[in-house]
Amino acid sequence: MQLKQKKSLTEALALATCSLLSQAPQNAMATATEGDWDFDVSMLNYQEADARVRVVELDINSKWQRKDDSALSFKVVSDSMTGATPSGASKVAGAQSQTSTTASGTVVASDVGEAAGKFLDPLVDFVDRRNGFVVDWENVFARTITTNLGGAYSVEDDYSSMGVNGSAGIDLNNKLTRVDVGLAWTWDTVSPSVAGGPPPEGEIVGGRLFSYDDGHKLIVDKSVGVTQVLNRRTVTKLTYVTGTTDGYLSDPYKLVTVHNDVSDLPKSYYYEKRPNTHARDALNLELMHQMAGGAVFNGYYRFFWDDWDISSHTLDMRYRIDLGASQYIQLHGRYYTQTAADFYHARLTEADERNLPEYMSADYRLDELTTTTLGIKYGFNFSQFGHFRIRYETMEQQGTTGDYTQLKAKILHAAVTVKFGR
């Protein structure tokens, strides 16, 4: 019985060897002339409650996986952004509007405030479009070293961004450990549609303080990450990311309101002003673990801190449960909490105005706040090479001070991936 088994094993190996040898020339030809293509199409509808911001985004990705272990990726993105966003002007019951809509913000009238009997709108309507593309070229050397070179460009009605990035990774320890390093430069320009030129950083009534040339910022980010396989079902990754941003960092549409100490009505308005440098750091820990039944737990924690006195904690968890061989659902929960920037002022007093802070912003995103996100996703593989998924999420943000401390949003996101050439 044992001899018979050995004989059949030998025959099987011989047959397999012959089969491989006979196919080798065909594979060699295929390597030279063919590659695999992956296509992704992704559609997002993001809608905030109370007619705040709405974003519709279309992403189309294609990846050409060449058989010489290199890959070329292209991505095209198109956004449409509409709705209303808080300007920083305080709410005044029954006040008449003194603002008008532009491509992405507001034209601010002069002579406003309590004395003039005119107040600025706390919510500003805007319409904006964003189109961009991203390219990435990946190479693998000696099966253990991976390099990526990429570039990105996007343009909005009043904003443009261009960047280059590079990264390299090496597999170590019999491919149980991987170390990645990355570097990215991004050059952004804001050219707001405010009459008379951009970035006003000071009192509204009076001359503009800066010219268009001052609307630039340079972002340099660096990262180092270590991925470690812990066991047959678990892999983890620790990434440290550090970045600096230099240049014009204010939001040219955001205001800060000074209130009358007695009447509590808005007395005057100022454009916000942020420091022109920003140093940021983040430590990210990720974990993927597959349960015995095939369910997958994905945990993510981030600790962020910067030199604006903001620190934050993010906990993100996804749990995927397979429904048979081709379908699954995934539950998602995320909790985020941050401290306020040291120059955040929901409003200013008359005493503040007499001795204006060097930097000030009433942007609610710089306030102390928490965000809670809950979502569910359904996906199915419609063939061996096709994957469709759709998810619905709700996001709720709770700030601490200011007129707009609560934000609710609904997120609908669908995507399909198709692989050719396999």
Partner 1 sequence: MKWSVWVVLFFASVTSQGCASIYKPPQPWERDILAQDKMLIGGDPLEIQIDDKITFSKEASSIGRSIGGGGCGCN
Site string for partner 1, 337-376 (x = CB under 8 A): -x--x-----------------------xx--x-x-----
Computed on alpha carbons and rounded to an integer, the radius of gyration of the chain in Å comes to 27
Strands (E), 232-265: 234-247, 255-259
Site string for partner 1, 206-235 (x = CB under 8 A): -------------x-xxx---xxxxxxxxx
54 vs 66 by CB, closer to partner 1: 54
Please tell me the number of Cα atoms within 13 Å of 228 on its side-chain side. Answer: 5
Q: C-alpha 59: how far from its chain's center?
A: 14
Say whether residue 243 binds partner 1 (CB under 8 A): yes
Identify which of 39, 20, 18 has the alpha carbon closest to the alpha carbon of residue 28: 20
Q: C-beta of 381: minimal distance to partner 1 in Å? A: 9
Give CA separation, 218 vs 17, 135, 277, 391, in Å. 57, 20, 10, 35
Q: How far apart are CA 196 and CA 112, in angstroms?
A: 18
Q: C-beta of 86: minimal distance to partner 1 in Å? A: 9
| Total residues in contact with partner 1, by rule CB under 8 A | 105
Contacts to partner 1 from residues 284-303, by CB under 8 A: 284-286, 288, 290, 296, 298, 300, 302-303
47 vs 70 by CB, closer to partner 1: 47
Are the beta carbons of 368 and 311 closer than 8 angstroms?
Answer: no
Q: How far apart are CA 179 and CA 205, in angstroms?
A: 54
163 vs 266 by CB, closer to partner 1: 163
Stretch of 6-14, 110-118, 332-340, 347-355 lying at the interface with partner 1 (CB under 8 A): 332-340
The string of DSSP codes covering 323-338 is ETTTEEEEEEEEEEEE
43 vs 209 by CB, closer to partner 1: 43
Say whether residue 129 binds partner 1 (CB under 8 A): no
Q: C-beta of 159: minimal distance to partner 1 in Å? A: 3
Q: How far apart are CA 203 and CA 213, in angstroms?
A: 20
127 vs 205 by CB, closer to partner 1: 127
Q: C-beta of 24: minimal distance to partner 1 in Å? A: 23
Candidate residues 314, 372, 401, 405; the one interacting with partner 1 per rule CB under 8 A: 314
Give CA separation, 164 vs 89, 149, 182, 400, in Å. 37, 8, 11, 37
Candidate residues 188, 201, 272, 403; the one interacting with partner 1 per rule CB under 8 A: 188
Say whether residue 174 binds partner 1 (CB under 8 A): yes
